[in-house]
């Protein structure tokens, strides 16, 4: 019944589309823009002078006002801007208002389903302008947010081209459900799931990589319930709104932007050479009481081993070349505004044969059909081509850090590849992998204003996705004799994601003191991906992309052989939502917002099909109070608070229902039927109760601006997939844990200071610091019920999500070189036991943030951004094997492990080397050799960005067609200060699933270090 009423409410305004517009006589229209940059100004009061007749401008700055017959003058007013009077007969005018205060509080920020002036915003939103994203070379746009937004942790992707970052907004409150934010591009929630290809080749596919940074006008990060409440069941992890560029008023202008540069690795681990490795192997052998020459892997002889000293790292890396070009056009007149852009980039990483190529095109058009009807087209096409290489455990650079020993050659004496051990050169030369992701996102929206202050908007968008993953092994890899007996295969998936949104927005002013903004809307979304259930592959001499017809022929053959079809659903879900928002402002300084959202989804269990998510938020601009006017140092002071319930619905679909499946095979000629997984009809979203309070300020003539915020997030109904008794035989079942709660609470502080603010010389410094305390406060399962993938992080009541649960390594016995451990009670012991494990650290840092400075002197600019992490731990899951490299594990041995015990009375960091991990008493195998010996401080300080720029003076350009030229040199990850000995302290490895991603950032497993890049950039405007 409630639903019906809500529907009625929402559908009624839509019907108004069909009604004839009421005649409006004696009206005048116009548009208000910001004098600073020409951007449209919303919510500007337009009042007939001397009367109470008034209206407000729309989101696009336009207004329409019905005039009394004697009206002569209109007064335009907006807080923070000087009032302006214009002639009432001056219809269709574009009026610019000039800021009276020198801060960015009048900036318009994008919020869910609308825009708002920053000073009126009641939620926690950080805006990052597009130029801060597009000017630096990053593997994927989200990496450019690092250090720029308080409370937003970005662990940038590893060194593989196109790799994605782990993004955490105010911590993580989930275990098995994803902790990733919702990505919304131009109002459309888009596909961002990093697990569409699992972790094949030891890399998670990153759908965000194909997004063109050059298209981005701004990114808004929504953090609290006041901001994300309108996204209901998908707002718990925060929302990242990406707004693409649109045409601006003015004659056609073109911008050409280029970036050319080089890429290498930021840090690298160092390994011993062949001779040293053999010596250490012998040392380990003797230490374990064995005599004679140590055995070598795979029966290799010493004569063979001593001939080689292969530097695998060197053979697998290169200086990558970055090549990025973009041409865009913008124009705008009264009727039509257009933005168009084409981009080509090809960024080779530092790994040989590895590069990400991006081809992108965009056309955004705004067309005013009539005064009342506007149509907007938003369209973008992105094609990302990732020339992949294997890494980590799958080979490539991972082998160079593990099992490809310096005593192995690349080639045998007869010129054939060495195959009696890891050979990553063979791997990268004789395998080819090309992953292509096509994404088209097209949206068409209509905005109709049937009556004054009522705006009806209908928006339909479709995101089309197609992805193919071509893999090819030559016959030298398949070890077959003829050149055409390599193996080519392709794994495609394809699908769509359509969204329709209808909103009705009504502005109501009661007198001059009471302003209301009502929004009601409904949204439906369907997401569907398909794939083939059989492998499309065959013996071939080259990859499918070089002989595509064979691929299609193969599909035809397989279709003929499979009468039931070869396609299957890869993923599919729907959302259907209703939402409403009321904003009320009293006297321009007291703001109140209430939001409700009703979300239904096909992901939810049959017993919980719809969730209700309410939130309220309020803001008080204290500086506008009369008692504050006398305090000249305070230019702006706003207190805001929010509370709301939002959800996390980011978990796989189809989990609520039992999964019985007819078998793809017959047994003994008869059909088969299987139960793959049990369903859970009670499955629902995770519930987050989110509180935020903050103070925004501008002091000392707006020179010092900033914000301090406190938040408290309590997640309940935690979704868990593992943890059932394995003897139940039912496998994993997604379920909301009763008596479960995870708290994230923290403080954020950001500030920006204009030290010098003169026309020709500006110097600013700024920065932010955030502290997030993460704690699992209610949880009933044992410590090992949930692990982050294969790694040693755990969920333990009373501790953060993702703790290192390890045996403590006390030091080395100087007499015999054996490790000394601490048992549970802290008592020293020399016998290792998993029973000694205790909480030893956490992947959650104590503080994160960044600081920057920028100097502009005449046409020169200089800016830097440092990002940092204080506290938290890195666990080297592969480090333990590298330390045991000269045992029977046979891995590369890292140089920092050389500080080991060799003889009595040696004082060393590491114990004596042994021929087998089990020679350390109590160690059952090298896999269990997890201890704080390999736990590191994750703190680092990184010179994330450094830019030197020069803008050619306008006078020098004279009257040429070129309007503006800017050149810059930018370096990323140039310097890193860290105590971490294993290479790069930012660790985003391949994850097995969302749970692994939540629990185990900062757990290394042969992770390729981040890129370091230096580029030259050129922006020309004409």
Partner 1 sequence: MKQNKNKIIVIVMMALLVGLVGCSKFLERKPEGQLTKEEALKTEADLLAFVNGTTTLVGNDDYMGGRLQAASELLADELKGDKFTGDEAEIFGRRNSIFGDFRNNLYIKAYTVINRANVILETLDLAGTNKGYIEGSSRFFRGMGHFEMVRLFAHPFGYNTDNSQPGIALRLSTGNGSIPRSTVKEVYNQIIVDLKYADSILPVTPQSGTKYYTVTKWVAEAYLAKVYFQMNDFANAYLYAGKVIASGKFMLDNNYNNRYSTGLSTEGIFILANNTTVYNPGSELRGKYRSDRNAPNYNYTDIFYNFATSKPGDVRKAWYSKTLVVDLNVSTKFNKDFFDLPIVHLTEMKLIRAEAGAEIAASNPAALAVAITDINDILTRAYGGTSQNLATTATAAAVIVTTRSERELEMVNEGNRLQEIKRIGARNGSNIDRRGSPWNCNGLLLQFPKAEQDANASFQLNVEGGCF
- Assigned token pair, 459: 């928006």
Closest alpha carbon to 431 in 489, 357, 356, 481: 489
Taking the complex as a whole, the smallest distance from the CB of residue 954 to partner 1 amounts, in Å, to: 57
Task: Assign 3-class secondary structure to 64-117.
Answer: EEECCCCCCEEEEECCCECCEEEECCCCCEEEEECECCCCCCCCEEEECCEEEE
Nearer to partner 1, 538 or 888 (CB): 888
Nearer to partner 1, 350 or 656 (CB): 656
Nearer to partner 1, 249 or 576 (CB): 576
- Assigned token pair, 631: 């305090």
Query: Do the Cβ atoms of 546 and 489 come closer than 8 Å?
Result: no
Q: CA 450, CA 372: separation in Å to the nearest integer?
A: 7
Is residue 550 packed enough to be buried (19+ CB in 10 Å), middle (13-18) or exposed (0-12)?
middle
Element (H, E) at 634: strand 634-648
Query: Do the Cβ atoms of 921 and 818 come closer than 8 Å?
Result: yes
Residues pairing with 686 in the sheet = 648
Nearer to partner 1, 433 or 655 (CB): 655
Taking the complex as a whole, the smallest distance from the CB of residue 605 to partner 1 amounts, in Å, to: 11
Taking the complex as a whole, the smallest distance from the CB of residue 671 to partner 1 amounts, in Å, to: 5
Taking the complex as a whole, the smallest distance from the CB of residue 523 to partner 1 amounts, in Å, to: 12
- Assigned token pair, 986: 């930012």
Nearer to partner 1, 22 or 665 (CB): 665
Nearer to partner 1, 146 or 918 (CB): 918
Query: Do the Cβ atoms of 964 and 762 come closer than 8 Å?
Result: no
What does the buried/exposed string (b/e) look like for 214-239 if buried means 16 or more CB atoms within 10 Å of the residue's CB? bbbbbbbbbbbbbbbbbbbbbbbbbb
Taking the complex as a whole, the smallest distance from the CB of residue 877 to partner 1 amounts, in Å, to: 13
Nearer to partner 1, 129 or 831 (CB): 831
Q: CA 733, CA 772: separation in Å to the nearest integer?
A: 30
Taking the complex as a whole, the smallest distance from the CB of residue 669 to partner 1 amounts, in Å, to: 7
Q: CA 219, CA 214: separation in Å to the nearest integer?
A: 12
Closest alpha carbon to 885 in 265, 270, 158, 160: 270
Side-chain-side CA neighbours of residue 754 (13 Å): 17
Taking the complex as a whole, the smallest distance from the CB of residue 656 to partner 1 amounts, in Å, to: 8
Taking the complex as a whole, the smallest distance from the CB of residue 230 to partner 1 amounts, in Å, to: 20
Q: What is the DSSP string of 668-712?
A: TTEEEEEEEE---TT---EEEEEEEEEEEEEETTTTEEEEEEEEE
Nearer to partner 1, 15 or 413 (CB): 15
Side-chain-side CA neighbours of residue 600 (13 Å): 11
Taking the complex as a whole, the smallest distance from the CB of residue 729 to partner 1 amounts, in Å, to: 3
Nearer to partner 1, 368 or 795 (CB): 795
Q: CA 1019, CA 956: separation in Å to the nearest integer?
A: 16
Nearer to partner 1, 706 or 723 (CB): 723
Taking the complex as a whole, the smallest distance from the CB of residue 728 to partner 1 amounts, in Å, to: 3
Terminal Cα-to-Cα distance of the chain (whole angstroms):
59
- Assigned token pair, 398: 């991972």
Nearer to partner 1, 600 or 1001 (CB): 600
Closest alpha carbon to 616 in 640, 588, 598, 592: 592
Taking the complex as a whole, the smallest distance from the CB of residue 665 to partner 1 amounts, in Å, to: 4
Side-chain-side CA neighbours of residue 804 (13 Å): 28
Q: CA 507, CA 607: separation in Å to the nearest integer?
A: 38
Side-chain-side CA neighbours of residue 723 (13 Å): 24
Taking the complex as a whole, the smallest distance from the CB of residue 8 to partner 1 amounts, in Å, to: 7
Nearer to partner 1, 229 or 600 (CB): 600
Q: CA 798, CA 805: separation in Å to the nearest integer?
A: 13
Nearer to partner 1, 510 or 665 (CB): 665
Taking the complex as a whole, the smallest distance from the CB of residue 405 to partner 1 amounts, in Å, to: 15
Taking the complex as a whole, the smallest distance from the CB of residue 305 to partner 1 amounts, in Å, to: 17
Beta pairing class for 536-540 and 431-448? unpaired
- Assigned token pair, 48: 């007939």
Nearer to partner 1, 687 or 791 (CB): 791
Nearer to partner 1, 614 or 654 (CB): 654
Taking the complex as a whole, the smallest distance from the CB of residue 299 to partner 1 amounts, in Å, to: 6
Q: What is the DSSP string of 268-301?
A: ---B--HHHHHHHHHHHHHHTT--SSPP-GGG--
Nearer to partner 1, 258 or 524 (CB): 524
Nearer to partner 1, 12 or 975 (CB): 12
Q: CA 760, CA 317: separation in Å to the nearest integer?
A: 44
In this structure, what are the phi and psi dihedrals at residue 280, rounded to the nearest 5 degrees? -70, -35
Taking the complex as a whole, the smallest distance from the CB of residue 113 to partner 1 amounts, in Å, to: 20
Query: Do the Cβ atoms of 216 and 245 come closer than 8 Å?
Result: yes
Taking the complex as a whole, the smallest distance from the CB of residue 612 to partner 1 amounts, in Å, to: 15
DSSP 334: S
Closest alpha carbon to 1022 in 955, 938, 959, 943: 959
Taking the complex as a whole, the smallest distance from the CB of residue 918 to partner 1 amounts, in Å, to: 6
Q: CA 209, CA 219: separation in Å to the nearest integer?
A: 15
Nearer to partner 1, 502 or 910 (CB): 502
């Amino acid at each position: 019944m409630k639903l019906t009423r809500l529907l009625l409410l929402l559908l009624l305004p839509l019907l108004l589309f069909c009604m004839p517009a009421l005649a409006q006589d004696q009206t005048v229209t116009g548009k208000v823009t910001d004098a600073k940059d020409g951007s449209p100004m919303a919510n500007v009061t337009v009042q007939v002078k001397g009367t109470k007749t008034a209206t407000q401008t729309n989101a696009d700055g336009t207004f329409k006002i019905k005039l009394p017959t004697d009206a002569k003058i209109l007064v335009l007013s907006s807080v923070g801007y000087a009032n302006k009077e214009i002639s009432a007969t001056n219809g269709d005018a574009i009026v610019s208002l000039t800021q009276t205060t020198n801060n960015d509080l009048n900036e318009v920020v994008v919020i869910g389903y609308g825009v708002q002036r920053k000073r009126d915003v009641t939620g926690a939103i950080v805006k990052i302008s597009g130029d801060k994203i597009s000017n630096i070379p990053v593997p994927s746009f989200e990496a450019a947010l690092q250090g720029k937004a308080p409370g937003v942790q970005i662990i940038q992707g590893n060194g593989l081209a196109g790799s994605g970052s782990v993004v955490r907004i105010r911590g993580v409150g989930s275990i098995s459900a994803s902790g990733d934010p919702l990505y919304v591009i131009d109002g459309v929630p888009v596909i961002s799931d990093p697990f569409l290809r699992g972790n094949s080749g030891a890399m998670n596919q990153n759908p965000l990589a194909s997004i063109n940074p050059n298209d981005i006008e701004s990114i808004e990060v929504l953090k609290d319930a006041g901001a994300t409440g309108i996204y209901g069941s998908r707002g718990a992890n925060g929302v990242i709104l990406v707004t693409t560029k649109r045409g601006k008023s003015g004659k056609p202008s073109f911008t050409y932007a280029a970036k050319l540069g080089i890429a290498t690795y930021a840090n690298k681990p160092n390994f011993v050479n062949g001779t040293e490795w053999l010596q250490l192997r012998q040392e380990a052998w003797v230490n374990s009481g064995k005599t004679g020459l140590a055995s070598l892997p795979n029966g290799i002889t010493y004569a063979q081993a001593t001939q080689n000293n292969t530097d695998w790292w060197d053979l697998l890396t290169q200086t990558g070349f970055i090549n990025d070009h973009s041409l865009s056009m913008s124009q705008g007149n009264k009727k039509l505004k257009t933005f168009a852009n084409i981009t080509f980039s090809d960024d080779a990483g530092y790994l040989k044969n590895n590069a990400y190529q991006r081809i992108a095109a965009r056309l955004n058009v705004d067309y005013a059909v009539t005064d009342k009807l506007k149509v907007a087209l938003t369209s973008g096409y992105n094609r990302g081509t990732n020339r992949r290489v294997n890494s980590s455990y799958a080979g490539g650079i991972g082998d160079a850090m593990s099992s490809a020993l310096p005593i192995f050659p690349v080639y045998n004496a007869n010129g054939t590849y060495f195959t009696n051990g890891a050979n990553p050169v063979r791997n990268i030369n004789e395998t080819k992998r090309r992953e292509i992701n096509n994404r088209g996102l097209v949206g068409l929206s209509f905005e109709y204003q049937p009556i004054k202050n009522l705006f009806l908007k209908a928006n339909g968008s479709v995101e089309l996705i197609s992805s193919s993953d071509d893999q090819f092994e030559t016959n030298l890899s398949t070890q077959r004799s003829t050149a055409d007996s390599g193996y080519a295969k392709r794994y495609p998936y394809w699908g769509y994601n359509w969204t329709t949104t209808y909103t009705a927005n009504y502005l109501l002013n009661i007198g001059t003191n009471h302003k209301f903004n009502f929004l009601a809307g409904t949204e439906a979304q369907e997401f569907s991906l398909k794939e083939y259930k059989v492998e499309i592959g065959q013996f071939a001499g080259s990859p499918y992309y070089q002989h595509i017809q064979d691929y299609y022929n193969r599909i035809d053959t397989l279709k003929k052989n499979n009468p039931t079809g070869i396609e299957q659903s890869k993923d599919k879900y729907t959302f259907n939502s209703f939402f409403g928002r009321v904003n009320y402002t009293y006297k321009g300084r007291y703001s109140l917002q209430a939001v409700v959202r009703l979300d239904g989804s096909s992901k939810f269990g049959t017993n919980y099909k719809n969730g209700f998510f309410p939130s309220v938020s309020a803001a008080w601009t204290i500086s506008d109070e009369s008692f504050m006017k006398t305090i000249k140092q305070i230019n702006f002071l706003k207190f805001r608070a929010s509370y709301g319930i939002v959800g996390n619905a980011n978990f796989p679909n189809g989990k609520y229902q039992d999964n019985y499946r007819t078998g793809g095979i017959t047994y003994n000629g008869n059909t088969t039927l299987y139960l793959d997984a049990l369903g859970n009809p009670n499955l629902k979203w995770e519930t987050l109760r989110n509180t935020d309070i903050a103070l925004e300020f501008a002091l000392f003539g707006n020179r010092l601006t900033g914000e301090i915020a406190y938040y408290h997030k309590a997640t309940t109904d935690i979704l868990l997939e593992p943890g059932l008794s394995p003897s139940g035989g039912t496998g994993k079942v997604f379920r909301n844990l009763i008596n479960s709660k995870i708290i994230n609470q923290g403080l954020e502080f950001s500030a920006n200071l204009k030290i010098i603010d003169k026309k020709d010389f500006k110097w600013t410094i700024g920065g932010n610091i955030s502290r997030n305390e993460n704690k699992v406060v209610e949880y009933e399962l044992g410590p090992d019920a949930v692990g982050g993938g294969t790694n040693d992080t755990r969920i333990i009541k009373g501790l953060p999500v993702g703790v290192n649960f390890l045996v403590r390594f006390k030091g080395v016995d100087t007499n015999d070189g054996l490790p000394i451990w601490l048992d549970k009670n802290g008592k020293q012991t020399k016998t290792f036991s998993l029973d000694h494990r205790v909480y030893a650290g956490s992947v959650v840092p104590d503080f994160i943030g960044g600081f920057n400075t920028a100097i502009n002197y005449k046409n020169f600019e200089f800016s830097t951004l440092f990002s940092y992490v204080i506290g938290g731990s890195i666990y080297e899951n592969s480090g333990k094997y590298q330390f045991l490299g000269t045992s029977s594990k046979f891995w590369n041995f890292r140089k920092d492990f050389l500080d080991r015990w060799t003889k009595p009375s040696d004082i060393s960091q590491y114990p004596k080397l042994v021929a087998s991990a089990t020679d350390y008493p109590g160690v059952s195998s090298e896999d269990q050799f997890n201890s704080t010996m390999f736990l590191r401080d994750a703190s680092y300080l990184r010179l994330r960005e450094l830019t030197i720029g020069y803008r050619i003076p306008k006078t020098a350009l004279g009257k040429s067609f070129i309007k503006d030229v800017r050149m810059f040199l930018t370096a990323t990850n140039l310097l890193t200060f860290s105590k971490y000995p294993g290479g790069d302290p930012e660790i985003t490895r391949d994850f097995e699933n969302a749970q692994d991603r939540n629990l185990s950032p900062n757990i290394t497993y042969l992770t390729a270090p981040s890129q370091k890049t230096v580029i030259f950039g050129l922006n020309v405007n004409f």
